[in-house]
Amino acid sequence: MTPELIDTTTFAELRASAGDDFVTELVATFAEEAPQLMAQLRAARASGDADGFRRAAHSLKSNSATFGAGQPEALARVLELAGLAADPAHDEAAINALQAALALAIAALKELARG
């Protein structure tokens, strides 16, 4: 795991306030829901649903922030604030970058939750 993937202070604070078992459950839920939210983001982009696009991006941003996953949080924030781009290819590239960042962050979170 690369330390910069997750802000370990944020993760430690979450663990201290919520407890190890609950944090492990939260990580598992995030790992399960993130692909669903990514699918919603992609579907909203494909259908031109600006509200659905922003909602999915917002959820991904907020969930990432909860765990201290800075890169996916930042990428999702850009998508949320920008909304649908005039050029769908631009959004597709940003969505792909978010998906890659989420995969790395979720792997790191699972490792931290085990540790």
Q: Please, which pLDDT band fits residue 3 given cuts at 50, 70 and 90?
A: very low
d(CA 16, CA 102): 23
| Alpha-helix runs per DSSP H in the chain | 8-18, 20-47, 50-67, 70-82, 88-114
Residue 68 DSSP symbol: T
d(CA 113, CA 111): 5
Q: How far apart are CA 88 and CA 32, in angstroms?
A: 26
Residue with structure tokens 């407890």? 19
The pTM assigned to this predicted structure is 0.92
pLDDT in tens, 50-100: 999 999 999 999 999 999 999 999 999 999 999 988 888 999 999 999 999
